[in-house]
Amino acid sequence: MSIDSCSKYFLVSIRLASCLSRNRVLRGSTGCGLLLVWLLVLSVVPAATSQATPYSVKDVEKLAMDGISEHNFLELVKQHDISFAPTVEVMEELRIGHVPGSVLKEIWTHIPQGQPPEFYLKEGDHLLRNGYYAEAIAYYQRLLLQIPNDLSAKARIEQANEQQQKAEAAAKEQEQKAEAAAKLRTAQDTERPNLSYYRQQLSASLQKPDCDGAFYYAHKIFFVGPDQSEKSAYEKVCGPYTVTLKEDTPVTLAFQRDLKGADAQSGDKVDFKVVDPIVMNGLLIVPKDGVAWGTVAKAEGGRRLSRVGQLRINIEGMWLANGEKCSLEDEENYRGAKKSKKAKAGYAVGSVLLPGVPLIFLGKGRGNDVTIRAGTKVAANVTGTMKLEPAQFEPSGPAPKGPPIELPQIGLNVVSFQNLSGTDATVRLLGPSAQVLTVVGGQSVSARVAAGDYYILVRYGKNPEDYLFEKDGPIPVTEPSGHYSVAGITLKRPAADNPKAREEFYKGQ
C-alpha cells in the first residue's frame, strides 16, 4: 500500500468512526454506508496492486549486481516468480553474472508448462549436451506427463542419470586429489626446516655405511624435494633407491564378514582385511587392516542325499598404502561336514502316486551348509613384481638409532644470497651454522647464522648434465656486542667446473 493510499485509508477511517459515533442508532445511514464501501475499496485495491511482478532476466542480474544477500535474493525470486524460460543460454548468462547457486536452482524449477512434447525433448537434449543432467531429467519428466510410455524420454533419463553419476564421481575424485595435494604440501612444509639435519644424518650413514639408516634419511629428504645429486650419492653406496614388492610375497588376510554357501552366489564380492602389515626398507607398503578383496567362484548350500555345502573363493587383490592396486592370487575351497546317519528320517518324494511311477525315498540325513566365520585367516601371494616409488610411502616407525648429530647453531646474524647466475643454485653453507639452501634464479634467500668463519659450496644448474660447482671462503661473520651483522653474497655462474668443489659438495664436507 502506498503512502497516499494509507493517508486516504486513515482519513476515511476517522470519518467513518465519527459517523458511526454520531449515528449510534441509525447504523444503516446512507453516509456511513458509503464510507464503509469506500473503506473496503481502499483496502482491496492496494492489496491487488501490490502483487509481485515476475522478474525478468535483467531484474535478476540487477539483484546480483546490487550485492543482496543470498537468502534475501532467493526469497525475492520465490515471491516474484520469473517471466522467462530457464534455457541453457539464459542460465549460463546468469551464472556468469554471479547469481548464487541456490537462486539458479530455484529458477531451474520454472519449466514452462503447456508446451508440446517436442519442446521438452529438444530442450532436454540441449541441457543434456551441456552437462545439465538434473535439469534435463526434469524436462524429460515433463514430457512423460503428456506421453507416459515415451521410450525416447525414458532412455534419455537413464542416460542422464548415468552421466550425472560419472560427473559426480569425477568431481569427487578431483576433490580428493586436491585434498591429498594440500595435505602433501602441509607435510612437506612441516619437514622442510629439518632438511639440514636429515642431510647430515644421510652423509653420516653413507660413510659407515649404514644403508638402512641412509634409506630412512634419503626418504625424508626426497619427500620434501627430490635431489638428484643426493640420490646418486645414496645409490653409489647402497644401490638403486627403489622399493620392490616381489612376486610371491606372502600376505595374510582375514574374512571381514560371515559367508554361507546357501546365501552366496557365484560372482559375489568377498571383503578381506590385511592381518600383518607389509614393511619394506622401513616404509609401510601395506598397513594393518588394509583392504583386500576376492570373489565367490562357486557356492552351494547343503542338500539332501548327504551332499554338503561348498564355497570356492578366489582372492584377487589389495590396496597398497599409496592407493595403488596390487594383484593377489589364491584359491580357497571350503566344504561343510556331513551329518550323522542317525539324523532324522528322510522324506518321501511324491505324495500323489501316478500310475507307473515308483515311490522314491531320499537317503537318511543331509549335508551341512558351509559357513566361513568373520576373522578366518587365509594366505595369498603377490602376483607379479612391482617397482614402487619410495616417496609415495611413509616410514613405518621412528628413525634408526645411531649417534646423535648436533643440530646447527642458529644466531641472529644474517647471510643473504642473491642469485644472478641465470639458473637455480644449491648452496651448502659450511661453518658453525651449517645449512643447505636452494636459491631460484633471480631470487634471494637469507639464512640466520651464528658468528664464525664460513665456506660455501655452490652447485649451479637444473639438470645433472649441466651442473657446475664452485667453492668460496672463508667468509667471516662477526657479532659485535649487542648487535648482529648482515652479509650479502652474489651468486654468479662460474666459467668452468671445479671438480674438487663437486666432490666436497656431495660428501657434505
Least confident of 52-56, 196-200, 373-377: 196-200
Q: Is the pLDDT of residue 176 over 70?
A: yes
Query: Is the residue at 87 inside a domain?
Result: no
Per the model's pLDDT, the better-predicted residue between 66 and 40 turns out to be 66
Q: Is the pLDDT of residue 95 over 90?
A: no
Q: What is the 3-state secondary structure (H, E, C) of 275-302?
A: CCCEEECCEEEECCCCEEEEEEEEEECC
Per the model's pLDDT, the better-predicted residue between 51 and 365 turns out to be 51
Query: Is the residue at 488 inside a domain?
Result: yes
Q: Is the pLDDT of residue 330 over 50?
A: yes
Q: How far apart are CA 477 and CA 456, in angstroms?
A: 13
Whether residue 421 is found in the same domain as residue 365: no
pLDDT at 401: 60
CATH code where residue 430 lies: 2.60.40.1120
Whether residue 268 is found in the same domain as residue 353: yes
Whether residue 374 is found in the same domain as residue 426: no
pLDDT at 360: 34
Query: What residue numbers bound the domain in which 31 lies?
Result: 3-45
122 membership: H or E segment, kind and range: helix 117-129
Q: Is the pLDDT of residue 373 over 50?
A: yes
Q: Is the pLDDT of residue 147 over 90?
A: yes
Q: Average the pLDDT over 88-113 and give the result.
A: 87
Query: Is the residue at 238 inside a domain?
Result: no
Query: Is the residue at 449 inside a domain?
Result: yes
The band of 469, judged by pLDDT with boundaries at 50, 70 and 90, is: very high
pLDDT at 320: 93
Report whether 219 contacts 395 (CB < 8 A): yes
Q: Is the pLDDT of residue 403 over 80?
A: no
Per the model's pLDDT, the better-predicted residue between 3 and 401 turns out to be 401
pLDDT at 432: 86
The band of 468, judged by pLDDT with boundaries at 50, 70 and 90, is: very high
Q: What percent of the chain has pLDDT over 90?
A: 26
pLDDT at 240: 84
Q: How far apart are CA 245 and CA 257, in angstroms?
A: 28
pLDDT at 365: 45
pLDDT at 200: 83
Q: Is the pLDDT of residue 420 over 90?
A: yes
96 membership: H or E segment, kind and range: helix 88-96
pLDDT at 400: 61
Least confident of 30-34, 348-352, 445-449, 457-461: 348-352
State residue 489 phi and psi, 5-degree precision. Answer: -125, 130
Q: Is the pLDDT of residue 374 over 50?
A: yes
Q: Average the pLDDT over 207-222 and give the result.
A: 85
Q: Average the pLDDT over 368-385 and give the result.
A: 88
Per the model's pLDDT, the better-predicted residue between 208 and 290 turns out to be 290
pLDDT at 351: 33
Whether residue 379 is found in the same domain as residue 486: no
Q: Is the pLDDT of residue 405 over 70?
A: no
Q: Average the pLDDT over 54-82 and give the result.
A: 90
Q: Is the pLDDT of residue 12 over 70?
A: no
How many CB atoms are located within 10 Å of the residue 329 CB? 15
Query: Is the residue at 358 inside a domain?
Result: yes
Structural domains in the chain (count): 3
Query: Is the residue at 195 inside a domain?
Result: no
Q: How far apart are CA 57 and CA 63, in angstroms?
A: 10
Whether residue 273 is found in the same domain as residue 360: yes
pLDDT at 301: 65
Question: Whole-prediction pTM value?
Answer: 0.45
pLDDT at 10: 42
CATH code where residue 274 lies: 2.40.128
Query: Which among 345, 372, 388 is the end of a domain?
Result: 388
The alpha carbon dihedral of 234, 240, 242, 248 has a sign of: negative
Query: Which among 353, 388, 423 is the end of a domain?
Result: 388
Query: Is the residue at 469 inside a domain?
Result: yes
Whether residue 307 is found in the same domain as residue 359: yes
According to DSSP, the β-strands at 413-419 and 486-491 are parallel
Whether residue 335 is found in the same domain as residue 379: yes
Q: How far apart are CA 461 and CA 419, in angstroms?
A: 12
Q: Is the pLDDT of residue 29 over 50?
A: no
At position 483, the amino acid (one-letter code) is H
What the block records as the C-alpha cell of 160 is: 542422464
The band of 303, judged by pLDDT with boundaries at 50, 70 and 90, is: low
Whether residue 433 is found in the same domain as residue 376: no
Per the DSSP assignment, residues forming a β-bridge with 332 are: 313
pLDDT at 477: 87
Q: What percent of the chain has pLDDT over 70?
A: 78
Query: Is the residue at 201 inside a domain?
Result: no
Whether residue 342 is found in the same domain as residue 422: no
Whether residue 362 is found in the same domain as residue 417: no
Whether residue 377 is found in the same domain as residue 421: no
Whether residue 291 is found in the same domain as residue 418: no
Per the model's pLDDT, the better-predicted residue between 438 and 507 turns out to be 438
Q: How far apart are CA 179 and CA 317, in angstroms?
A: 26
Geometric angle at alpha carbon 439, from 484 and 203, rounded to 5° = 90
Query: What is the pLDDT of the chain when averaged over all its residues?
Result: 78
Least confident of 267-271, 275-279, 356-360: 356-360
